[in-house]
A and B are shown apart, each in its own frame.
Chain A
Amino acid sequence: MGGFKLGKMTLGSMFKKPETIMYPIEKKTPPAGLKGHIVNDVDHCILCGICEKRCPCSAITVDKPSRIWSIDRFRCVQCGSCVRACPKDCLTMDPAYTPPALQKHVDEFEVPEQPNTSKREKPVEVVDEA
């Protein structure tokens, strides 16, 4: 019994380095593989539409005739299903979070015509890009 059981810890924290960081000035390095946002390497994309089919929240739309691959980042839940389903490995998960925005918008990417249909080499491991 008796009070002040937390005293040691509380007093100790006066002399320790703070647990928090000064956020906007100082930023944490995102660990590799953090679910930030989906990036499409359009040079290898074949617009097969598998990502669109696998997406649980219909965030991706593939328009084959006009060669547009678009993603609604406000619908995307970063589950990574599309990354795993991509037959050409052109989709990757980037560790940087999408910046806040005032208005909802859809990111569109034009996929160039390419004769190169070889499979893209799988990225070794996502490097910190903070």
Chain B
Amino acid sequence: MGKATVIPFGPQHPVLPEPLHLDLVVEDETVIEAIPQIGFIHRGLEKLVETRDYNQFIYVAERICGICAFGHSMGYAETVERLMGVQIPERAEYLRVIWHELSRIHSHVLWMGLAADAFGFESLFMHCWRLRERVLDIFEKTTGGRVIFSVVQVGGVVRDIDDAQLAEMKRVLEGIKDDYRQICNAFLKDSSVKNRTVGVGCISHEDALAMSMVGPFARASNVNNDARCLGNGGYGKLADFQPVLDAQGDCYARVKVRALEVLQSIDIIEEMISKIPAGDIAVPVKGAPAAGAETANLVEQPRGECYYYARGNGSKFLERMRMRTPTSQNLAGMATALAGCDLADVNMIVLTIDPCISCTER
């Protein structure tokens, strides 16, 4: 055995879109230990809740992360509604689920493109992002924005999707499905992809439980903590929801879980479109959260479960707003997965937890 060496990985690294630093303790070519560090882009968004009233903060919440923008605005709005005891119209719940699942598709397809790029499959990367563009076009037509939508408000949503647009959305999604199946085929059956992912960075079911992992990262180790199962908001109206699980716990299983979740999301959207009731899209919200009132909420975002906490102080400004994002929960699991892997596989493993550092630091 060779001498232990410490190799710094990041914060600037070709595979990382965001600054994450790892201290890799390496012996020969094997990683013995990995110590993650974040903290390069703390922006103090939680502090901003003191200077923006609860209606305005929704636009700050959206900007926590570019990819889960809709999820954050929806999670925040749900939390404040729960704090103030507001019941939103059913149509608004359905619309939120439709947009949320669309953003899951766009997030997962983006991630698959990045993963393909990480193991050097450039044309697969291009095809993934080509498909994602169609989802972004749906967003552009229905919300007026491509990344930041600003369609959620406390008490409902601000824009309706009419029947013609819903039918159009269904048609586009059918088109995506065909192309997507071919991409899935490449991801799950191609030998060059399998060489890089099968058996790499394994996390056992027990470890996943012990590390309290969340999201697709945990579901690949057969741990079901999909917050959609809790049936919050529109998710309670789904006829049958079974989370995608896999027992292998390696990088391949994580790719597979995400790949299948895209198809599941398309099915959810189609079900929602066929069931959406007519009616109002928002209720007026008056007053302010009571002093000392507090509540918590869980939302399943593309990267995993996100925890929200809000406390009122009797004014229009919240006393405290807290978002616990999936990546901060998965960092410990990532360090475990890295221990014992090959140095060349580090970027693949880091990518498969789908780290979102801006979310984590806020």
Knowing A35-B150, A56-B52, A78-B145, the reply to whether A5 touches B185 (Cβ < 8 A) is: yes
Q: Report the minimal beta-carbon distance from B62 to chain A, rounded to whole angstroms.
A: 9
Q: Report the minimal beta-carbon distance from B197 to chain A, rounded to whole angstroms.
A: 13
Q: Does A8 have its Cβ within 8 Å of any Cβ on chain B? A: yes
Q: Choose from A1, A6, A34, A79 the contact partner of B127 (Cβ within 8 Å).
A: A6
Query: For residue A4, which residues in chain B have a CB less than 8 angstroms away from its CB?
Result: 190
Are B144 and A35 closer than 8 Å at their CB atoms?
yes
Q: Does A98 have its Cβ within 8 Å of any Cβ on chain B? A: no
Q: Does B87 have its Cβ within 8 Å of any Cβ on chain A? A: no
Are B182 and A56 closer than 8 Å at their CB atoms?
no
Query: For residue B185, which residues in chain A have a CB less than 8 angstroms away from its CB?
Result: 5-6
B 28-62 to A, binary, CB cutoff 8 A, 1 in contact else 0: 00000000000000000000000010011101100
Q: Report the minimal beta-carbon distance from A69 to chain B, rounded to whole angstroms.
A: 20
**B48-80 interface (Cβ within 8 A of A):** 52, 55-57, 59-60
**A1-48 interface (Cβ within 8 A of B):** 1-6, 8-10, 19, 31, 33-35
Are B145 and A77 closer than 8 Å at their CB atoms?
no
Once bound together, how far apart are the Cα atoms of A124 and B158, in whole Å? 17
Are A56 and B158 closer than 8 Å at their CB atoms?
no
Q: Choose from A1, A2, A5, A81 the contact partner of B56 (Cβ within 8 Å).
A: A81
Q: Does A75 have its Cβ within 8 Å of any Cβ on chain B? A: no
Q: Choose from A10, A56, A80 the contact partner of B60 (Cβ within 8 Å).
A: A56
Query: For residue A64, which residues in chain B have a CB less than 8 angstroms away from its CB?
Result: none
Q: Does B12 have its Cβ within 8 Å of any Cβ on chain A? A: no
Are A80 and B189 closer than 8 Å at their CB atoms?
no
> Can you report 28 A-B residue pairs in the complex whose CB atoms are below 8 A from each other?
A2-B190, A3-B190, A5-B185, A5-B186, A5-B189, A5-B190, A6-B123, A6-B124, A6-B127, A8-B182, A9-B127, A9-B179, A9-B183, A19-B130, A19-B133, A31-B140, A34-B140, A34-B144, A54-B56, A56-B57, A56-B59, A77-B150, A79-B59, A80-B150, A80-B158, A81-B55, A81-B59, A93-B144
Binding site for B on A (CB under 8 A): 1-6, 8-10, 19, 31, 33-35, 54, 56-57, 77-81, 84, 93, 95
